[in-house]
Amino acid sequence: MSDIRYTEEHEWIRVEGDVGTVGISAYAQEQLGDVVYVELPARGRRVERGKEMAVVESVKAASETYAPASGEVIEVNDKLTAEPGTVNADALGAGWLVKIRLSDPAEIDKLMDAAAYKKYVEGLH
């Protein structure tokens, strides 16, 4: 079973210790189309679960991404500045957006696991 958890807004988070790596789901990047720009928060910024954290722009639209958990941004994926298409190529891997030091790891328990997210996405069609 995957250790990735998902939000209804199509973000994912993979937690290791008290750090969560965050990105957008494969479904989200497919809906957006070719990603052409990613605006990431500054290191040290505090993010709050469910609040806007970053912006992903594609040839179709600009889409806000929301923090799946609260905490402090400790790392951003600078590679996306020069290569935003990495989000399309590997949304669940190299296309991650930020790493957050979690302020409340219990928030992760409120998110969907991979099976629940798959069912949720299937219900959108």
In order of their start, the domains of the chain are 4-122 (2.40.50.100)
- The arithmetic mean of pLDDT across residues 51-79, rounded, is 96
- Tokens 């973000």 — which residue? 11
- Whether residue 1 is predicted with pLDDT greater than 50 in this model: the reply is no
**1: Cβ–Cβ under 8 A, 6 or more apart, which residues?**
113, 114, 115
Mean pLDDT, residues 48-64? 95
Tokens of 23: 């990105």
Is the pLDDT at 85 greater than 70? The verdict is yes
Average pLDDT of the segment spanning 25-38: 96
Looking at every residue in the chain, the average pLDDT score rounds to 95
Q: Nearest to residue 54, comparing CAs of 82, 77, 33, 27?
A: 77
Share of the chain above pLDDT 70, in %: 98
Entry pTM? 0.95
Beta bridge partners of 26: none
SS3 content of the chain, % helix, strand, coil (to 5): 25, 35, 40
For 25-105, strand residue ranges (E) read 35-39, 46-47, 52-58, 62-66, 71-76, 98-102
pLDDT surpassing 70 at residue 2? no
